[in-house]
Amino acid sequence: MPKRLTTTAGAPIADNQNSLTAGPRGPVLLQDYQLLEKLAHQNRERIPERTVHAKGWGAFGTLRITNDISKYSRARIFSEVGKETPMLARFSTVAGEQGAADHERDVRGFALKFYTEEGNWDMVGNNTPVFFIRDPYKFPDFIHTQKRHPRSNLRSPTAMWDFWSLSPEAIHQVMILMSDRGLPQTPMQMNGYGSHTYSFWNEDGERFWVKFHFKTMQGHAHYTNEEGNAKIGETREGYQESLYGSIEDGNFPKWRFMVQIMPEKDAEKTPYNPFDLTKVWPHADYPLIEVGEMELNRNPDNYFAEIEQAAFSPSNIVPGIGFSPDKMLQARVFSYADAHRHRLGTHYEALPVNAPKCPVHHYHKDGAMNFMGQQSGVTDAYYEPNSFDGPAEDPGVGEPPLRISGDADRYNHREGNDDYSQPRALLALMDEGQKSRLYGNIAAAMGGVPQDIIERMLAHYDKVSPEYGDGVRAALAG
């Protein structure tokens, strides 16, 4: 026997085929509450899509610790070798809307939520170790260049290259975007990076700066522009198909989780600003240390509930993991949680996919859709301090002081930065085929861009290396 169909209020439904009408030819009666409820729900099926990272693909899995890093971090997730923590991953493109094709050249989001015993830790990264800008003041401007032109309602290569040519800090990330790694074949065949510098702190209150890396164990695989376009001709949903299909088939994708660790005092000595999001820490200076293995092994049962409503935020850290002076990180700590309150509502963290798997006790009250009631767990304890045994702070999880000092000012973030050496180091890693595809992809993306903007960009490439500038010039001419 199938379950009995009901309204949302639980009343059994006798007829789910026909509207309630005054005679077989109509009209419909206003009192047909079943019909009204059905139409009203349809009108509310969509929620605001994310302004960036609108199209995503996700799955659940496990992080297993394979190496003891407890001397760097007291985070419970790292407490013993062999420990397993359940997690969720959501991959995404950045610029395209929810209906965009998966195989477009774009940076990919790489967002992870670890349900640890001391709260959720979100590692909200990308498949690139750096970003286009280093000062969050420019973030809305940058995203406007990636989105549609207000008049044509088309994406504008002129806007993109104009902004990049006026923002030398973008050259490193634009290079990765235009290289082979800018168009991965599937979400399983790319690395993930925390990109920002975060910090670790241990039981003794010592702080270390840290970068997070998730290295694909499937191997890197990319499409050329031509292959990507052909793929889009076959399917606009290639990432969803490959991730979902692979997990359904029992082929669980894996990533090696690694960190780079910088002693706190080193930050005063490095020739580059270690908190600059447009820079990596060279591996020769700060080698990768293995931490664990991440495996995705369960598809969501309901895409909307578990992936569209998944809310990742860099503000979700746990004792043993902290922030750093990275300006972009501070802005994201505000901006991501704010986006979710707008998109999902005040109590978005209580939705099952976002809810921690550890006890949650707080004194926030009421608000739209509060279905949890009083979260202090004690009826009379709805403020703090109180005499009714309500939840209380635990000084034992206090973070050691973040040693930062300086004069408040609007510092010119483009002054005194070397924006060219790290792109030069990346060029040196590329073989001739990779270089030629890089130059070709840049030239193809510059179609229709005014010559003065192209010249400004070529001047940057010349500063990286004359080989780079000449390579792009030749590709533009060809």
CB 87 within 8 A of CB 115: yes
Task: Supply the minimum distance, in Å, between the C-beta of residue 220 and ligand NDP.
Answer: 6
Task: Supply the minimum distance, in Å, between the C-beta of residue 191 and ligand NDP.
Answer: 5
Residue the block writes with tokens 């792109």 = 423
How far is the CA of 374 from the CAs of 340, 347, 349, 350, 382, in angstroms? 22, 12, 15, 13, 7
Looking at 35, 232, 355, 430, which residue binds ligand NDP (CB under 6 A)? Answer: 430
Cα–Cα distance measured from residue 108 to residue 192, given in angstroms and rounded to the nearest whole number: 9
* Number of C-beta neighbours around residue 203 at 10 A: 10
C-beta closer to ligand NDP: residue 76 or 108: 108
Q: Considering only 157-165, 202-210, 228-236, 422-430, which stretch makes contact with ligand NDP by CB under 6 A?
A: 422-430
C-beta closer to ligand NDP: residue 60 or 198: 198
Task: Supply the minimum distance, in Å, between the C-beta of residue 144 and ligand NDP.
Answer: 26
C-beta closer to ligand NDP: residue 369 or 425: 425
CB 357 within 8 A of CB 118: no
Q: If binding is defined by CB under 6 A, does position 189 make contact with ligand NDP?
A: no
Cα–Cα distance measured from residue 1 to residue 309, given in angstroms and rounded to the nearest whole number: 32
Query: At how many degrees (to 10) do helices 157-165 and 451-464 cross?
Result: 40
Cα–Cα distance measured from residue 426 to residue 461, given in angstroms and rounded to the nearest whole number: 13
Phi-psi region of 201 (alpha: psi -120 to 50; beta: other; left: phi over 0): beta
Residues in contact with ligand NDP, shown as a per-residue x/- string from 9 to 38 under the rule CB under 6 A: ------------------------------
Residue the block writes with tokens 């929810």 = 98
53 is catalytic: yes
Number of residues that bind ligand NDP (CB under 6 A): 17
Structure tokens at 420: 């060219």
**8-state DSSP, 401:** P
Looking at 92, 145, 199, 422, which residue binds ligand NDP (CB under 6 A)? Answer: 422
Q: Considering only 84-92, 175-183, 378-386, 395-403, which stretch makes contact with ligand NDP by CB under 6 A?
A: 175-183
Residues in contact with ligand NDP, shown as a per-residue x/- string from 288 to 307 under the rule CB under 6 A: --------------------
Looking at 36, 425, 459, 474, which residue binds ligand NDP (CB under 6 A)? Answer: 425
CB 20 within 8 A of CB 29: yes
Say which of 120, 126, 225, 354 is annotated catalytic: 126
Looking at 191, 195, 197, 278, which residue binds ligand NDP (CB under 6 A)? Answer: 191
What is the rounded radius of gyration, in angstroms, for the C-alpha atoms of the chain?
25
Q: How far is CA 56 from the centre of its chain?
A: 10
Q: If binding is defined by CB under 6 A, does position 322 make contact with ligand NDP?
A: no
Q: If binding is defined by CB under 6 A, does position 440 make contact with ligand NDP?
A: no
C-beta closer to ligand NDP: residue 243 or 464: 464
Looking at 181, 327, 347, 413, which residue binds ligand NDP (CB under 6 A)? Answer: 181
Residues in contact with ligand NDP, shown as a per-residue x/- string from 201 to 240 under the rule CB under 6 A: --------------x-------------------------
Structure tokens at 74: 């007291």
Q: If binding is defined by CB under 6 A, does position 100 make contact with ligand NDP?
A: no
**Contact positions with ligand NDP (CB under 6 A) in 348-407:** none
162: enclosing H helix or E strand: helix 157-165
C-beta closer to ligand NDP: residue 60 or 255: 255
Output the 3-class SS for 293-313: EEEEEECCCCHHHHHHCCCCC
Q: Considering only 68-76, 114-122, 275-283, 353-361, which stretch makes contact with ligand NDP by CB under 6 A?
A: 275-283
Say which of 18, 41, 43, 53 is annotated catalytic: 53
Cα–Cα distance measured from residue 149 to residue 151, given in angstroms and rounded to the nearest whole number: 6
Cα–Cα distance measured from residue 384 to residue 196, given in angstroms and rounded to the nearest whole number: 35
The three-class DSSP label of residue 115 is strand
Cα–Cα distance measured from residue 442 to residue 446, given in angstroms and rounded to the nearest whole number: 6
Q: If binding is defined by CB under 6 A, does position 179 make contact with ligand NDP?
A: yes
Residues that bind ligand NDP (CB under 6 A): 129, 176, 179, 181, 191, 215, 280-284, 422, 425-426, 429-430, 434
Catalytic residues, by residue number, are: 53, 126
